[in-house]
Amino acid sequence: MEEEKLVTLAILTYSKAQILKNVLENEGIEAYIHNVNLIQPVISSGVRIRIKESDLPRALSIIESSAWLAEDVVKEHVKETDKERKKPVILVPVDFSANSLKACKFGLNFAAQIKVEVVLMHVYFSPVYMPSLQYATEGYGMPYEAELGIKSMLDNVHNRLKELTDTIDKLMADGEIPAVKYTCLLREGIPEEEILAYAREESPLMIVMGTRGENMTEYGLMGSVTAEVIERSPVFVYSIPEEAKLINFKEINKVAFITNFDQRDLIAFDSLITTFKDYNFEIYFIHLNSNEERRTWNEIKLSGIKEYFHKQYPDLKINYSLVTEDSFFNNLDDYVREENIDVLCVSNYKRNVFARLFNPSIAKKMIFHSRTPILIIK
């Protein structure tokens, strides 16, 4: 007999989740706590209470009869409803390069699959921003040329934007990419700041960005557009290297998820699986640790981790690797090639991992990897 689908009723602190679980079970409703910190559950926050879908109406009725539960759960549902009123879009920052067009193709393909619109965004510089030109390392802003007046500069931006849209329209007419509604947005300022401001204001479902290969720039990632957006974005970011071959989410088969298996990683992973529930990925968990941490990790802990994910995601094919940071980062190319990884995935709060990713040598291996896109989970 097929098991009934579980749905998320609420996201609460661990202590409140335990209370709600007891309340529901006293009323005869089976409840499960998910995304608990497997090492220190008592300090977890943001854990999910999940119940059978058929029990949802009765559970909501129970919650509404309790003042503190209604405040925590019902208000959260109201917030989500407010967010849903905004039309969901995919944001694609463009710099008019060939790789920018590749990002457009990917964004438009993905938008067609999930039935949303696309916003193509270009940020340009005016003379006011001349002192900040060193930040425009990837071309998302067009540097102001002293001999051109402001009108000439804007004319140039509009002409290049028209060339891009003409190319996209032709690709749609020829059937090379799906006919998806898209709009163009021009903003003046520093590229990463304007991209992030839009993300905070409009909450796009995802930002799709192209990155140049390591042969295209002498800059490290510190201060670059992609690094800033990835580290500070409140939404998913999909970063496409210059030589990446995939331009369609449906072609992604293997996703490597870099993790410490802490509670925030469990929430981030659940966000990944929930967002892309219609896609059939094979997951490769990569647990990164130092040599010191490696001594504390053993097969017993890994066995518990495997049991947890098997229960929560029984239909997923999951592989596990325990590796040291130095071993992984120094052999990234080999790992990706040997395992045929299509996408590298990491959550954006991992400051310790990102500190490693964003030094110049690691950056070239990770963000500027010649073929493998990176998906950043909020």
Using one digit for the tens of pLDDT, what is the confidence trace for 172-202? 999 999 999 999 999 888 888 899 999 999 9
Please tell me whether residues 228 and 308 are part of one structural domain.
Answer: no
Please tell me whether residues 213 and 98 are part of one structural domain.
Answer: yes
What confidence tier does 139 reach under pLDDT thresholds 50, 70, 90? low
Higher pLDDT, 33 or 253: 253
Please tell me whether residues 55 and 103 are part of one structural domain.
Answer: no
Give the residue from 241, 264, 299 where a domain finishes.
241
Please tell me whether residues 190 and 257 are part of one structural domain.
Answer: no
Question: Nearest Cα to 258, choosing from 226, 287, 280, 216?
Answer: 287
CATH number for 283 = 3.40.50.620
The percent of residues above 90 in pLDDT, for the chain, comes to: 24
The sign of the CA dihedral 100, 224, 184, 199 is: positive
Using one digit for the tens of pLDDT, what is the confidence trace for 315-352? 999 999 877 666 666 677 778 888 899 998 888 765 44
Please tell me whether residues 110 and 234 are part of one structural domain.
Answer: yes
Distance CA 188, CA 307 (A): 51
Q: Would residue 246 count as lying in a domain?
A: no
Range of the domain at 45: 6-84
Please tell me whether residues 214 and 268 are part of one structural domain.
Answer: no
Higher pLDDT, 39 or 15: 15
Give the best-scoring range by mean pLDDT among 16-20, 82-86, 290-294: 16-20
Distance CA 137, CA 16 (A): 47
| Number of domain units in the chain | 3
Average pLDDT over residues 74-93: 62
CATH number for 51 = 3.30.70.1530
Give the best-scoring range by mean pLDDT among 67-71, 84-88, 349-353: 84-88
Please tell me whether residues 63 and 117 are part of one structural domain.
Answer: no
Please tell me whether residues 265 and 177 are part of one structural domain.
Answer: no
3-state SS class at 26: helix
Instruction: Report pLDDT for 129.
Output: 45
Q: Would residue 276 count as lying in a domain?
A: yes
Question: Is the overall model pTM greater than 0.75, yes or no?
Answer: no
Average pLDDT, the chain: 75
Q: Would residue 14 count as lying in a domain?
A: yes
Q: Would residue 378 count as lying in a domain?
A: no
Write the DSSP assignment of 269-338 as a string of letters: HHHHHHHTTTS-PEEEEEEEE-HHHHHH--HHHHHHHHHHHHHH-TT-EEEEEEEEHHHHHHTHHHHHHH
Asked whether the predicted pLDDT for residue 213 surpasses 50, the reply is no
Using one digit for the tens of pLDDT, what is the confidence trace for 353-372? 544 554 444 444 555 555 78
Please tell me whether residues 232 and 283 are part of one structural domain.
Answer: no
What confidence tier does 237 reach under pLDDT thresholds 50, 70, 90? very high
The sign of the CA dihedral 206, 210, 211, 217 is: negative
Q: Would residue 226 count as lying in a domain?
A: yes
Instruction: Report pLDDT for 2.
Output: 57
Average pLDDT over residues 133-153: 53
Distance CA 356, CA 325 (A): 9
Please tell me whether residues 77 and 106 are part of one structural domain.
Answer: no
